[in-house]
Amino acid sequence: QSVLTQTPSASGTPGQRVTISCSGSTSNIGRNFVSWYQYLPGTAPQLLISRNSHRPSGIPDRFSASTSGTSASLAISGLRSEDEAEYYCAAWDDSLSGPVFGGGTKLTVL
């Protein structure tokens, strides 16, 4: 069972906006940066969002994120078929001195 809680699945049609949520605690999201990763089976996870809301170079501005208290959310606007993937939130956990992950959200583009 993952330390951070994510809804297992989400879906949307091309062009729509979808939001994925992530819930943690004061030892992780509550006091450390949240990052988000896109995962396609057979490939390496890719950093989508850093420091709660910053997009690394090359990540489209269709991806945005925010945090509030012990929760975080990732929004994908203008949904495309290539966005169909698993999305994971992560945050450093002070009690572990390491990162903790959410259980992943499988996004389906209908």
Partner 1 sequence: QVTLKESGPVLVKPTETLTLTCTVSGFSLSDSRVGVTWIRRPPGKALEWLAHILSSDAKSYSTSLKSRLTISKDTSRSQVVLTLTDMDPVDTGTYYCARVRMGFRDMDVWGPGTTVAVAS
Map the footprint of partner 1 across residues 14-53, applying CB under 8 A. Answer: 32-33, 35, 37, 39, 43-47, 50-51
User: Which C-beta is closer to partner 1: that of 16 or that of 108?
Assistant: 108
Beta pairing, strands 71-76 & 46-49: unpaired
Least spacing, CB of residue 16 vs partner 1, in Å: 25
Residue 25 DSSP SS3 = coil
Q: 55: Cβ–Cβ under 8 A, 6 or more apart, which residues?
A: 48, 49, 61, 63, 64
Beta pairing, strands 105-109 & 71-76: unpaired
Out of 20, 63, 67, 102, the only residue in the binding site for partner 1 (CB under 8 A) is: 102
Stretch that binds partner 1, among 14-22, 60-68, 72-80, 84-92 (CB under 8 A): 84-92
User: Which C-beta is closer to partner 1: that of 43 or that of 81?
Assistant: 43
At 59, which amino acid appears? I
